[in-house]
Amino acid sequence: MTTAELRAADRDVLWHPFTQQQGWSAEDAPIIERGEGCTLWDTDGVAYLDGVSSLWCTVHGHRHPAIDAAVKAQVDRVAHSTMLGLSHPGAIELASRLLAVAPRGDRELTRVFYSDNGSTANEIALKMAFQWWKIRGEEQRTKFVYLDMSYHGDTIGSVSVGGIDLFHSMFRPMLFDGIRVSPGDVDGLERVLRESGDTVAALIMEPLVQGAAGMIMHPEGYLRAVRELCDKYGVLMICDEVATGFGRTGTMFACEQEGVVPDLMSVAKGLTGGYLPLAATLATERIFAGFLGRFEEFRTFFHGHTYTGNPLACAAAIATLEVFEAEDTLGALAPKLELLETLLEESVAPLASVREIRRRGFMVGIELVDFPVEARMGHQVTLAARERGAIVRPLGDVIVLMPPLSIGADELRRLVAITTEAIAAATGVAVPESVCTA
C-alpha cells in the first residue's frame, strides 16, 4: 500500500489511543515503518529522532543487535507457553535478574509476578495488598491512598487511584473509593494516616517524578518520608516504577535515590527495551508468604493474564538487562545528563513562551506559558517538531522529552535544537540569537 492508501485505511478502521479522532486525518501523522538506534523512518522514508522513546519504552534504541538476536533465538525455541501451571527458562532467569537489580535496603523484594502492561502491574499490586490484609484478618483495611495528579494506568483499578481529573473524573461512578493526598505534603499525609490509617491497605505512588502529570518533581526526602509514615501506620507501600524504572531518573530505579524499598513495586515500559509488552509486580517475601496455605483455605491469588510472562518478551527483557551491563548504560548517562542540562538551559529556557523546565535524569517536562485550551499549543509544538524531524509528545502544554538512554551527544543536541525551534515557531516567539539551532 502507498502512504496515501495507508492513511485512508487508518482513517477508516482505526481508533487511536488518547486521540480526538475528529481532525486526526487532517494531520497526516507519519506512518512509522522502520527504526534504528534513536531514529524512526516513515513510509515516505522521512527520518525522525525518537524524542520520547516510543512512549517511554525504548531504553537502548531501536533494533539493538543484542535484543534483536535474543528475540529471534527465542522464536526458534517457542513463542508462547503459559505460566499457569507451567514455567519456562526465560521467566525464571528474568525474575532472578530483576530481583538482583531491584532496590535494596531495610527490606528485600524477592518475588516476581508477571503481567503485560503497566496498568495490570498496578492492578495486581492493589489486589495483592487488598487480599493480603483480608487473609490476615484485618478486613477493615480496604482503602488506598494515592497522590493528586497521579497516573497508574487506564484500567478501572488503576484509574481508581488516578489523580488526573481530565482522564479520570468522568469514570468516578465506576471506581472504588480512595484517599487523595497532595504530593510533597508530608504533614498532610500523616494527618490522613493518623485519622484513617487503620482502614488503609496501601499507598501507591510514582517515586520522585509524576510523569503523566507533566513531570511533577517531588521535593527531596519526600519518598523517604512516605516510606517512614507507611511503616509507622502499618500501611503497605506500592511504588509504580513503570515510567521511572530502567535508568530513566539516572539510577536503575528511582526508589534507590532515597534508599527506599517498597513492599510492592510495578515495572513495565522499559522492561523489554520497548520490544514487547511485559510487566512485573515485585513483592517482598512477607507479602508472598501471606498467601501460602492449604488449597482449601483459598489464599491463592486468583489472578493471571493469558500472555503473562510471555517467553519472547522475557527474552527481550533479559537482553535489555544484559545491555545495561555490557554497555554500562547508567555510567555512560552522567555526561549526557550534564549536556542535556546545559542545552536546555542555553536554548529552551530563554524562550519567552517557556515558563519552566523540569528535569530528573532523562525525564524532561518543558512547561509553556498559558495559552487558551483550544489553541492546543503543546500539540502544535509537537507538529512543528515533527516537520523539523523529531517526534515529541505533549502532556497538555508540557512538552515531554524522554529520549532513549543510548542517545548520542550529537543526537541530543539536535533533539534540543529542534524542540527549541518548534516551540519558537508554534508559540510565535523569537529564538534569541545566542542560541544554536539545528
Query: Residue 313's closest CA among 31, 49, 114?
Result: 114
Element (H, E) at 49: strand 47-50
Nearer to ligand PLP, 144 or 151 (CB): 151
Site for ligand PLP contains 280 (CB under 6 A) = no
Least distance CB 227 / ligand PLP (angstroms): 18
Nearer to ligand PLP, 206 or 256 (CB): 206
Measured between alpha carbons, how far is 99 from 103 in angstroms, rounded to an integer?
8
Nearer to ligand PLP, 290 or 309 (CB): 309
Nearer to ligand PLP, 118 or 197 (CB): 118
Least distance CB 211 / ligand PLP (angstroms): 5
Measured between alpha carbons, how far is 207 from 93 in angstroms, rounded to an integer?
26
- The DSSP output letter for 76 is T
Q: In the complex, which residue's CB is closest to ligand PLP?
A: 118
Measured between alpha carbons, how far is 412 from 417 in angstroms, rounded to an integer?
8
Mark the segment that binds ligand PLP (CB under 6 A) among 2-10, 146-154, 248-256, 344-352: 146-154
Site for ligand PLP contains 267 (CB under 6 A) = no
Site for ligand PLP in 401-420 (CB under 6 A): none
Least distance CB 314 / ligand PLP (angstroms): 16
DSSP SS3 for 424: helix
- Residue among 133, 151, 307, 324 that touches ligand PLP (CB under 6 A): 151
DSSP SS3 for 279: strand
- Residue among 112, 124, 268, 416 that touches ligand PLP (CB under 6 A): 268
Starting at the earlier edge strand, list the strands of the sheet with 178-181. 109-115, 279-284, 264-267, 236-240, 200-205, 143-147, 178-181
| Rg of the chain, C-alpha, whole Å | 22
Element (H, E) at 143: strand 143-147
Site for ligand PLP in 89-128 (CB under 6 A): 117-119, 122
Site for ligand PLP contains 211 (CB under 6 A) = yes
Measured between alpha carbons, how far is 100 from 253 in angstroms, rounded to an integer?
12
Least distance CB 206 / ligand PLP (angstroms): 5
Measured between alpha carbons, how far is 178 from 171 in angstroms, rounded to an integer?
14
Interacting residues with ligand PLP (CB under 6 A): 117-119, 122, 151-153, 206, 211-212, 240, 242-243, 268-269
